Structure 1
Amino acid sequence: MKKRFMLFSLLFSLISFAQTGVIRGTIVDKQSEKSISGATVELLSDPGKGSITDEKGNFELSNVPLGRQTIRVSFLGYESSTVPDIDVTTGKEVIISVSLVEKFDKLEEIVIVSDGNNKAKSINKLAAVSVRQFSPEEVNRYAGGRSDVARLASNFAGVSTADDSRNDIVVRGNSPTGLLWRLEGIPIPSPNHFSTFGTTGSPVSALNPNLLANSDFITSAFPAEYGNALGGVFDLGLRKGNNKEYEYSVGVAAFPGAELMAEGPLGKKGGSFLVAARYGIVGSLGLAGTTAQPNYNDFSFNLDFGKGKFGNFSVFGIFGDSNIDLIGKDVELSDDDLFATRDEDSFVTSGFGVFGLKHTIDIGSKSYLKTIISGSVTRNTFENDRYFNLETPTEFKIRWTEVDNTENRITFSTLFNSKISKKFTFRTGLLLEQYSLENKLSDREQQDDNNGDGQPDFVNLINNDGAYSIVQPYAMGQFRLTEKLTFNAGLHGQYFSLNEEFVFEPRTALTYAINNKSAINIGYGLHHQNAAAPLLFLNENIGGNLVQSNKALDLVRSAHYVLGYDLRFADKWRTKFEIYYQAIDKAAVEKTSSSYSSLTEGADFGFSTDKNSLVSTGEGFNQGVEFTLEKFFSKGYNLLFTTSFFESRYTGSDGVERDSPFNNGYVINALAGKEFKIGNAKKNVFTINTKFTTAGGRYYTPVDLAASNAAGYEIRDDANAFSEQYDAYLRLDLKFGFKLNSSKKKHSHQFYVDFQNITNNTNVFSKDYNRLTQQVNQIDQIGFQPDFGYRFQF
């Protein structure tokens, strides 16, 4: 009887443990980023359960009930902070970092206390306007997201991606080429599969959100440490692996693919490892939007060696590879393939890699120095063969296009941060990027037949083997002028070696807290960016010599002005209004009168190949108003409603002001999610998430059908550039999921099925000239499409 009782007790204890989880992490000073010893951490669902941080600022809460939890962190002399929406499961420990702000005046009894809406605040303490923090959990939660951080950002105010085929980010009417991708503090190439030279988006992301930490997305008036960007900034951080327990997960999903991930302790100094590999399967499922088979895979890692005598060292990296063969004769006769054409065979390869070494060392009690050295490479090839006299006895094909691009980059970044006092934080740094390029492009498109063989000549348009460098020094500070008034100011410098231009860029932001529920934000920033490299290195035949006549183009300049109002009108509810204006000049346009501007480039796989001897006299502007209503997750549900009304226009060398191709006019997003606890013990969860999106159609340049038929290839009516608009975009997604916490220790299962575009709405992809039918054909985007995923954590 005694043995049976002991066995029952042991079994009960195992089940009890399996129905709880662990929350642990680190508490730091937000200004100095140093750990805080002695801070109190409380679990609000069980006030008796708490922890005190040790000498390294670490805490641990064990036996935490499963489900969404909230903790409160407090420390004498600091503003208290609460962290809501912590998803506790049996499959994985939750590891977080919480930043506390020192009270403005320790003698005052009334202070502004954080209300827990931490996602409304930025990770970067010097980013004050037009910034939104996001979590990897959000990337996986929302309907229609495909586990893609870029598609997550499309839900935020000011962002439009009305294109199911690519994840290009259009921020406030700017070209996607104006986006800056940063990882662990350094600029990186486009982290996407099937990406091409000079672009920032593609059909499939290579970023694994399960390795990301909470990160920032900034849409305007960036702080002084960000440069060489006009549109927006993805400032991504990698999370550290579990430094106490080994954890693993396996999963499969339609778009990210099959995944293996592992993490655990590394070394004797509190280090950790985190590695993950994925292999794409979407082509096998027939969900790629093309009859061809896309192949892609990626590998990511973050190795942290812990903090020692000489500081903290870590090594991180991402590597991706992709290819696809688009065989024209495999295309259905309806010509509705998004990427392939009946009379062409195309062979595409793409790959990229980023490897970095990061070192952080304390300097005194309130300062630190962070240095990163990294190398990156990106390569893409494109070979295109075209058929003539298709499906006749005289059918033949010739090589039409060849592209071979390789970009290598060495990056050095150093940043010094010091909390001078509780009222003043100072940061300065230097970023150096050294590029080496090998770019080749040969094409017959729109070329003359000078050799008389009856076909356009195969002309070399780019043949570049060179290098350039970008140097960016910066300095900035945050001044807490009063308890309610905070002023950020900085100066960013940028040197571009190709044109030997050096510019200074002032950045400022002012935040006034009207009370503990509302605040006004004002921001200004001057920003520059070099013209896209595919334009800079175009060849022009001048007197029989090939000359790169665009290399001396000026840096494009954009001045950002922002005014915002933030209101937290109820617990876990937030509204935000922002109005903005961006004045752009020094864009590249043609010397002769035309509608062309470099501001229209970047929303496709390639760039213009016939724009030579450009001059930096083009102008443009973006203006708009944005509204966000957000209910952070609590009481089992969350809501997000964003809307943007904006205008994006440009002026070419002909002096005519036109709509840009990114001028959708409006974007509206409505998202909602609900969780239901199920099972006898209410430890499992059933989730429903939905998303509705509508946006104005993009402007496009109509095809000149008569000229195209006469020439045998597509000719656009450039005199009426971007004068016509596609129909409005509309899409509704619905996602169902389960989270099952196993009765065994540290096992959990997650399932979801995501029905995308459930109304099967017809959204226009493009209207292009068809050489075979000699008509303008409309190609539609993907209609109804299911997605699914499964993950097992242990």
Structure 2
Amino acid sequence: MQQSPRACYNIKRDLHSGKHIIVTFCLLLIWAVIPLSLHAQGNKQNIRGSITDKLSLVPLRGAMVQIVNDSASHQALSDSNGNYTLRSITPGRYELRIINNGYKDVYLPNVIVASGKETILDISIEETFKRLKEVVISSSDKGVTINKLATVSARTFSMEEVNRYAGGRSDPARLVANFAGVSAPDDSRNDIVIRGNSPVGVCWRIDGMNVTNPNHFATVGTTGGAVSALNTNMLKNSDFFTSAFPAEYGNAIAGVFDLGFRTGNTEKREHTVQLGLVTGLEGMTEGPLAKGSGASYLVAYRQSVAFLASTFGINIGTSATPAYKDLSFKITSGNTKLGTFSLFGILANSSIGISGGKSGSLYAPPDNTDLYSAIGIIGIKHVKILNKRSYITSSLGVNYAKNTQYQSSADSSNNSRSIEEEKVIQTAYTASVAYNNKINSRLFFKVGLQDQLINLDLYYRTRRNMPDWMQIWDNNNATHLAQAYAHLKYNITERLTANVGLHTQKLFLNTRSTSLEPRIAFKYDVGKKSSLTMGFGLHAQMQPINIYYNQIQNATATNKDLGFTKSQHYVLGYDWQPFKDWRVKAEIYYQYLYDVPVDSISGSYSMLNTGSSFKPDLSVNLKNNGTGTNYGAELTIEKFFSKGYYGLFTSSVYESKYKGSDGVEHNTAFNGKYVYNLLVGKEFKVGSDKRNKFTTDLKFTNAGGRFHTPIDLATSQMVGNTVLKSDTYAYTSRYDNYFRLDFKLGFALNSKSRKLSQTFSLDLQNVTNHQNVFSQSYDNGSKTIMTSYQLGFFPNFIYKLQF
């Protein structure tokens, strides 16, 4: 069941009590600048890490790492363990070049060095097709994904980008909304809509382990939430896929978010303190478990600002206080005879209690809602290098998610009253293993297995103007999902690469949920600056787990025999890098979805619209007879950060349609038809030695309004609550187009005498205070259709201290 719109909107309203944020920002800035300006000594930091083979993970000795945009000519060679260190680097932004005989040269732009923290970069490089003499083959890090098997519709992003862009709220999910093919015109949640697909079709992964929903205020069957539980200070560079993804990814039909926790500093202890209006008050520490062992820890804890203010008696303008907190950690063993072990996890909970609201708003005074959610993600990962060509990875983990909700409402105009009670607990135990073999410089093979045991406790009942309850869920069941895959990467020639794979999966809840999914993709380098890509993938996904157990008044669940929803992806792309720091990328795609659950009788319902509203999907008697299509074109024009500025323009033009059991083609709830994003930013170096910087960032988003089913006003007035029009009108009305302009100011201060750095940012979101439609509902008090709006002007402040 998705969380109430009251909760989402109230969270926005509570966070919006920021009238004094700009004043606070200025005072903190003055407080920090004065003491730092008193020092005149030099203070420098290190860049260090390891160099490994991208396919075999074997450490590479003798690789040269050099800074190419520094007059001091810093460079270092990797040792027998692949480790390197560039010492005494002045704080600033640098570009690195990695050179090793028989490997492609790699350029890493935008490597940031700050006084308060060492910069740790673990770099993997790719062996050339042939060990040619006097030939230099190079690649830019911006055009290469971390997953070596990705070919089409994939992009790597850095945590520096997450924190740099305006309007991002330090949320990776909101960052990817800037990429081509992604739409997220909803300020209340960070749901990811990829190429017109439901956000339910997205797979989240952390350190190689599939996870359910890493967000606060998350609910069963969804993949988004109001606030991310992912701490960006914990994350490393990660991959995002929007179509035809490699064979190792399964149980997803829209896209994949493949994230990873970084490793803590193995040589020295470092600490971070951060205060943000959205992310809360945070403390993080990292360092070696024992010096020289390579073992380290990384731990961070956050608490919401609104809850802390309420705890200390500070008036935040509302009694409905959104409280959320999370603990994230990663403990790494370092290299041992048995391999490398790491323990990682997220423990989080969130709650809000809402007692009415102002008259005529979304919160009529008689309404009361109490929400609570908790997530627990814990995993153990093992990596063992077998020889110079092969290694194995394995993991064990548990995903725990709990959601409870109590909601009551009353309408004095007709003396009606309704109550809803819900409790959902989902626990998934996961085990996986993969074998990787770099047969030679041309051929790489990967095969893997994964099994997930899912326990589900569902309880949901409702009552409206009657003494007896209507029981919707009352189940405690278990099932498991097994997956297997094989993938082959082959460099046919120096310019032509093929990725071929096969994925299979089975849900043991019934006999119909089985799939065999071929994947194939090619990349052809037209020249040194451009390439053509094409890909095909068949993908399958189980339904949201709660759907299988929907029932009618204590009757047997009617959806247990539902099979997978399946999807065929076709993609054609062109990538061109006209200059070193510019990139142009275009893709066209077609997606055909089938075996989609729809009503067993004629109707417009389709599972492809799941996640579009804040009401639970209680549909029963569903059959896998529906279809859908998504197709469109995307363009990305990007100026990488260099010479003190960057720019990113993305555009997506698309259609998203479906057919229910009525056989009529409808717009899906996610058919916005277009999305345009423009992001630009400029960095100014300040101070006598230019170690500090002042930044400005601007973001503009314009997206098509989504389709919805209009309200039947006459019938709603008759019965006293919201009633939608018949199936004939399904998704025929459209909200106004979404428009938002964000502007961000930042200042970074690097101490001259201490290992300490500070950053300040003021993110002015929706600076024009544009009213973007949130939803529509019937208000029985005024007997009219009420429109509620999304986030207005919202100043978000973040302060970070590293030492």
Could you say which TM-score interval applies, normalised by the shorter chain? over 0.9
AA aligned to 1:310 is L
AA aligned to 2:353 is D
Change (3 A) 1:701 1:593: same
> 1:170 aligned to 2:193?
yes
Residue in 1 that maps onto 2:522: 510
Residue in 1 that maps onto 2:475: 464
> 1:53 aligned to 2:78?
yes
AA aligned to 1:169 is I
Change (3 A) 1:303 1:626: same
Structure 2, unaligned stretches of length 5 or more?
A: 1-38
Equivalent in 122, 125, 135 of residue 100 of structure 1: 125
Residue in 1 that maps onto 2:541: 529
Equivalent in 247, 262, 271 of residue 285 of structure 2: 262
AA aligned to 1:70 is E
AA aligned to 1:231 is A
Cα distance in structure 1, aligned partners of 2:318 and 2:212: 26
AA aligned to 2:110 is D
Residue in 1 that maps onto 2:34: none
> 1:297 aligned to 2:322?
no
Residue in 2 that maps onto 1:479: 490
**Aligned positions, number:** 757
Change (3 A) 1:27 1:47: farther
> 1:746 aligned to 2:755?
yes
Other structure's SS at 2:233 match: helix
Residue in 2 that maps onto 1:145: 168
Equivalent in 212, 222, 225 of residue 202 of structure 1: 225
Residue in 2 that maps onto 1:357: 380
Other structure's SS at 1:444 match: strand
Residue in 2 that maps onto 1:693: 701
The one-character-per-residue Cα deviations of 1:314-342 (angstroms, maximum 9, x if unpaired) are: 100001100000111xx12240x5xx443
> 1:623 aligned to 2:631?
yes
**Deviates further, 379-388 or 141-150:** 379-388
**Deviates further, 216-225 or 737-746:** 737-746
Residue in 2 that maps onto 1:549: 558
Within 5 Å, give how 1:765-784 maps onto structure 2: 765-784=774-793
Cα distance in structure 1, aligned partners of 2:214 and 2:418: 30
Within 5 Å, give how 1:439-454 maps onto structure 2: 439-444=458-463, 454=465
Residue in 2 that maps onto 1:406: 425
Change (3 A) 1:288 1:296: farther
> 1:648 aligned to 2:648?
no
Cα distance in structure 1, aligned partners of 2:266 and 2:40: 25
**Deviates further, 775-784 or 98-107:** 98-107
Residue in 1 that maps onto 2:102: 77
Residue in 2 that maps onto 1:789: 798
Equivalent in 393, 401, 410 of residue 378 of structure 1: 401
Cα distance in structure 1, aligned partners of 2:213 and 2:715: 36
The one-character-per-residue Cα deviations of 1:762-791 (angstroms, maximum 9, x if unpaired) are: 110011112322211000111111110101
Tell me if structure 2 keeps the 8 A contact 1:103–1:111.
Answer: no
Other structure's SS at 1:406 match: strand
Change (3 A) 1:443 1:290: farther
Shift of 1:47: 6.2
TM-score of the pair, normalised by structure 1? 0.93
Residue in 1 that maps onto 2:11: none
> 1:26 aligned to 2:50?
yes
Cα distance in structure 2, aligned partners of 1:109 and 1:509: 31
Shift of 1:65: 2.2
Cα distance in structure 1, aligned partners of 2:552 and 2:642: 60
Tell me if structure 2 keeps the 8 A contact 1:253–1:788.
Answer: yes
Shift of 1:251: 1.0
Cα distance in structure 1, aligned partners of 2:223 and 2:317: 20
> 1:601 aligned to 2:620?
no
Other structure's SS at 1:570 match: coil
Shift of 1:711: 2.0
> 1:683 aligned to 2:711?
no
Residue in 1 that maps onto 2:510: 499
AA aligned to 1:669 is N
Residue in 1 that maps onto 2:33: none
Other structure's SS at 1:421 match: coil
Tell me if structure 2 keeps the 8 A contact 1:168–1:201.
Answer: yes
Other structure's SS at 1:306 match: coil
Shift of 1:22: 1.1
AA aligned to 1:607 is P
Shift of 1:33: 1.6
Equivalent in 295, 299, 310 of residue 271 of structure 1: 295
Shift of 1:109: 3.9
AA aligned to 1:437 is L
Tell me if structure 2 keeps the 8 A contact 1:287–1:785.
Answer: no
Cα distance in structure 1, aligned partners of 2:316 and 2:102: 55
Residue in 1 that maps onto 2:19: none
Tell me if structure 2 keeps the 8 A contact 1:250–1:259.
Answer: yes
Change (3 A) 1:288 1:212: farther
Residue in 2 that maps onto 1:450: none
Equivalent in 329, 332, 340 of residue 358 of structure 2: 332
Shift of 1:289: 11
Other structure's SS at 1:546 match: coil
Cα distance in structure 2, aligned partners of 1:487 and 1:111: 23
Cα distance in structure 2, aligned partners of 1:287 and 1:622: 48
Tell me if structure 1 keeps the 8 A contact 2:680–2:697.
Answer: yes
Tell me if structure 2 keeps the 8 A contact 1:17–1:745.
Answer: no
Change (3 A) 1:220 1:327: same
* Percent identity for Structure 1 against Structure 2: 43
Shift of 1:46: 3.5
Cα distance in structure 2, aligned partners of 1:707 and 1:468: 42
Shift of 1:716: 0.9
**Deviates further, 732-741 or 364-373:** 364-373
Residue in 1 that maps onto 2:62: 38
**Deviates further, 282-291 or 203-212:** 282-291
**Deviates further, 512-521 or 39-48:** 39-48
Within 5 Å, give how 1:200-279 maps onto structure 2: 200-267=223-290, 268-279=292-303
Shift of 1:309: 1.0
Tell me if structure 1 keeps the 8 A contact 2:265–2:288.
Answer: yes
Residue in 1 that maps onto 2:336: 308
Shift of 1:400: 0.7
Shift of 1:111: 4.9
Tell me if structure 2 keeps the 8 A contact 1:288–1:294.
Answer: no
Structure 1, unaligned stretches of length 5 or more?
A: 1-13, 446-453
Other structure's SS at 1:364 match: coil
Residue in 1 that maps onto 2:351: 323
Equivalent in 674, 678, 703 of residue 670 of structure 1: 678
Cα distance in structure 2, aligned partners of 1:441 and 1:313: 41
Residue in 2 that maps onto 1:347: 370
Residue in 2 that maps onto 1:130: 153
Cα distance in structure 1, aligned partners of 2:338 and 2:564: 40
Change (3 A) 1:160 1:70: same
AA aligned to 2:56 is S
Change (3 A) 1:703 1:434: same
Shift of 1:15: 5.7
Tell me if structure 2 keeps the 8 A contact 1:196–1:605.
Answer: no
Residue in 2 that maps onto 1:538: 550
Other structure's SS at 1:569 match: coil
Cα distance in structure 1, aligned partners of 2:681 and 2:274: 23
